[in-house]
Amino acid sequence: MKRNKLVFFITLFVVVAFSIISGNKVIAQSAANQKLVMVTSADYPPYEFRQTATGDEIIGFDVDIAKYITKELGKQLEIRDTDFNGIIPALQSRRADFAMAGMTPTAERKKNVDFSDIYYEAKNTIVAPKGSNLKSPEALAGKTVGVQLGSTQEKAAQEFKNVKLRSLNRTAEIIQEVKSKRINAAIIEDTIARGFINNNPDLEFNTVPNVGEAGSAIAFPKGSDLVDDFNGVLAQMQQNGEIERLVKKWFENNGKETAATQTISDSGFGFGKIAPSIPYIIDGIRVTLLFTALSAFLGFIWGVILSLFKISTIKPLQWFGTAYTSVFRGTPLLLQIALVYYATPQITGYNIPALLAGVITFTLNSGAYISETIRAGILAVDKGQREAALSLGIPYKPMMQDIILPQGLKNILPALVNESIALLKDSALVSTIGVADLLRRAQIVGAEKYIYFEPLLFAGVVYYLLVMSLTWGGYALERRLQRSS
């Protein structure tokens, strides 16, 4: 009876959790529908960022333009957040109808996506420590320079002579590298540089001439019929002064109601700046724990099945279990996440939600590792237990379920707790596909406040407390099992 209740509650938990995941999914719609989905990288103020002190809404220059255009077209706007280097894959897999992220229409990008007309042109700057005298491309000779991966600044910096480039995912990471003196300078847009300089008085920036392609445009999937419609509204915005008004609002008046570019008095730690956004970061614990619980539970079930395959006398099952484990242990987890998230829509036509893609990937991956642990636990059970069960005429399935597996699991409990801890920490990888977990929210706050170290340090403390709680829970369960044996 107790076992039936346990199965019922576990099933209910899985159904409710997957309902929550499915309810949060964003599906890119065609132009014929009432909703248009925009993909962006909301860590690039003032173009797009989150105002975390008052909520979770993505705001900024690009967002205001997108709202104006979709309203003029009689459509509803839905915004999806991801890493900058995941924007073009999102368009290619038809996850979104268009993208805005201060993106320049380079020749390479045009091979993969279509672009609108240019709606704004910014200038590149060299950001460096004060007094470094790095004011021109020539002054960067022999220096290490940071750029954002996949950006036009990266391409422009490749034209500088005798410069060693270091490409990172986020602008805030590049600025932190400059502050920690691991790189000599960074190449970023002037509109972004101003915010960082205002909040980091130990830095300075100098404008340099643009090299090659310049300007921001809206990106679309290849062959999209939205390009002409968007160009028409952009031309209207240029004529009626709307673009100029938004430029003044975001690049001169700091968004008016926002405090994204509030200046601090020194270059030390700015924990006071992130205090209003701490509830936003902490809310990521809910997503992190939901993801970890689902992945651990489903990974354990799948691991048990794989372990039984490996000890089976049926050769095809043995071969499958061994080959499966080899593949998932032999390839990077980050690669597996990207393949599941971006390839699923192209292969199946199903626009899989980011959190669900993460759960599936971690289930498949952790199952491979757990299967080896469980197999070792099963083989560690004394052979006499199996022989006694067989001599009593107990069938194989009840024997494994009621005799062998319980003893094996008791032996491997510390290893399972260790795998759960690793799963909790590795869950931060889902931030790369836009899941608003604990780490992603800390990165968003850092981008909004133009600081990097403080929100990540706070997230690290929260992760540590979660891991310690899981560790103590594992110790308590282990002691209870030892007393009951």
Whole-angstrom distance, CA of residue 163 vs CA of residue 157 = 8
Q: pLDDT tens-digit profile of 67-97? A: 999 999 999 999 998 888 889 988 998 889 9
Query: DSSP secondary structure string, 389-431?
Result: HHHTT--HHHHIIIIIHHHHHHHHHHHHHHHHHHHHHHGGGGG
What average pLDDT does this structure show over 339-358? 84
What's the rounded mean pLDDT across residues 288-297?
Answer: 92
**Helix, strand, or coil here: 128?**
strand
Q: How confident is the model at residue 255 (pLDDT cuts 50, 70, 90)?
A: low
**What is the band of 14 on the pLDDT scale with cuts at 50, 70, 90?**
low
Dihedral pair phi/psi, residue 35, rounded to 5°: -115, 135
CA–CA dist 17, 427 (Å, integer): 16
Q: Mean pLDDT in the chain? A: 83
Judged on CB neighbours under 10 Å (0-12, 13-18, 19+), 228 is exposed
Q: Which of 70-79, 112-121, 170-179, 410-419 has the lowest mean pLDDT?
A: 410-419
Provide the pLDDT for residue 392. Answer: 76
**pLDDT, greater one: 98 or 26:** 98
Residue 361 confidence (pLDDT) above 90:
yes
CA angle (96, 101, 103) in 5-degree steps = 105
Structure token pair of residue 402: 């009621």
Q: Do 64 and 246 touch, CB atoms closer than 8 A?
A: yes
Write down the architecture of domain 31-118+217-265 according to CATH: 3-Layer(aba) Sandwich (3.40)
**Confidence (pTM):** 0.62
Strand-by-strand arrangement of the 98-99 sheet: 76-81, 35-40, 98-99, 219-221, 113-115
Nearest CA to 435 out of 275, 330, 292 is that of 292
CB-neighbour burial class of residue 74 (10 A; exposed 0-12, middle 13-18, buried 19+): exposed
Instruction: Look at residue 105 and tell me whether its pLDDT is greater than 50.
Output: yes
pLDDT-based confidence at residue 453 (cuts at 50, 70, 90) = confident
- Architecture of domain 124-208 in CATH? 3-Layer(aba) Sandwich (3.40)
Token output for 375 = 């197999």
Q: What pLDDT sits at residue 180?
A: 85
Residue 208 has pLDDT above 70, yes or no: yes
Amino acid occupying residue 76: Q
pLDDT exceeds cutoff 50 at 448: yes
Quick one: which of 224, 194, 172, 180 has its CA closest to 446? 172
Q: Where are the domains of the chain?
A: 31-118+217-265, 124-208, 281-484
Whole-number pLDDT of residue 210: 65
Average pLDDT over residues 151-157: 81
Q: pLDDT value at position 266?
A: 41
pLDDT for the residue numbered 218 = 96
Q: Quick count: other Cβ atoms within 10 Å of Cβ 384?
A: 8
Q: pLDDT band at 65, cuts 50/70/90?
A: very high
- Cα 259 to Cα 250, 263, 450, distances in angstroms: 11, 9, 11
For the CA atoms of 285, 291, 293, 296, the dihedral, rounded to the nearest 10 degrees, stands at -140
Tell me what pLDDT residue 11 has.
52
Cα–Cα–Cα angle for 278, 247, 53, rounded to 5 degrees: 10
pLDDT at position 302, please? 94
Q: Which position has the higher pLDDT, 199 or 425?
A: 425
Q: Where does the pLDDT of residue 40 fall: very low under 50, low under 70, confident under 90, or very high at 90 and above?
A: very high
Q: Among candidates 226, 206, 56, 201, which has minimal Cα distance to 123?
A: 206
pLDDT of 258 above 70:
no
Q: Is-same-fold flag (31-118+217-265; 281-484)?
A: no
Q: Say if CB 171 and CB 205 are below 8 A apart.
A: no
Q: Percentage of the chain with pLDDT > 90?
A: 35
Cis peptide before 46 (omega within 30 of 0): yes
**396-412: per-residue pLDDT in tens?**
777 777 777 777 777 77
Which class does domain 281-484 fall in?
A: mainly alpha
Q: Is the model more confident about 410 or about 20? A: 410
**CB of 190 closer than 8 Å to CB of 124:** yes
Give 270's pLDDT tier (boundaries 50, 70, 90): low
Checking if the pLDDT of 209 tops 80, the result is no
Q: CA-CA distance, 168 to 55, in Å (whole number)?
A: 28
Beta strand ranges found along 149-306 (DSSP E): 164-168, 185-189, 203-208, 219-221
| Model pLDDT, residue 460 | 92
